[in-house]
Amino acid sequence: MIINCPVCNGKGTAKSTTKTENIPHFGEILESSLICTSCGFKHNDIICLEQNDPVKYTLAINKDNLSSRVVKSQSATVSIPELGVKVEPGPKSLGYVSNIEGVIIRFCDGVKQALTIFDDEESQKNGLDILEKLNKLVNGEIKATLVIEDPYGQSNIMDTNVQKEKITEEKLKDLKTGFTIFEDKPH
């Protein structure tokens, strides 16, 4: 669908596409994207069409599983505890389909963004330190764990070595959900 760009207001410069995809052992997702040919604005989002029990995925990252697929829903919290990085869902959280390497790169982008906002010495030092560790992680020079916690069970790490566990009621209270789930389940 050709629409006006919501960012630069270009007339009919943005192309919006929506497709459903069935991911094996996971289920149906709705993937939507918007690309503007005028200003280069890009927006991607996925919506999981199935709701499941709260779940926590843990995977030791190594250089052999960087290409394992990751589905992160809008409601998921993603963290690498050893590096002290965590992304919690907020009102503008997006879901995405990527792989382990892509998740690490998203963390890098987030840290780079933070470095432009917080210019005090300590934040800069911490940020650069984390960035260096994330780069080492991508290159397989250090080890760390990827944790995805999802109160609606819509996320997944598709790797044979992944540990999957239920999130207890108690822990669930501490988890941010970030958005309102649709009342009606699509069929």
* 3 binds Zn ion, rule: CB under 5 A: no
Name which of 43 and 69 has its Cβ closer to Zn ion. Answer: 43
* 175 binds Zn ion, rule: CB under 5 A: no
Name which of 41 and 179 has its Cβ closer to Zn ion. Answer: 41
* 10 binds Zn ion, rule: CB under 5 A: yes
Mind giving me the DSSP string for 25-85? TTEEEEEEEEEETTT--EEEEEEES-----EEEEEEE-TTSTTSEEEE-TT-EEEEGGGTE
Within residues 73-92, the interface with Zn ion by CB under 5 A covers none
Shortest reach from residue 5's CB to Zn ion, in Å: 3
Pairwise CA distance, residues 157 & 162, whole Å: 7
* 7 binds Zn ion, rule: CB under 5 A: yes
Within residues 14-53, the interface with Zn ion by CB under 5 A covers 36, 38-39, 41
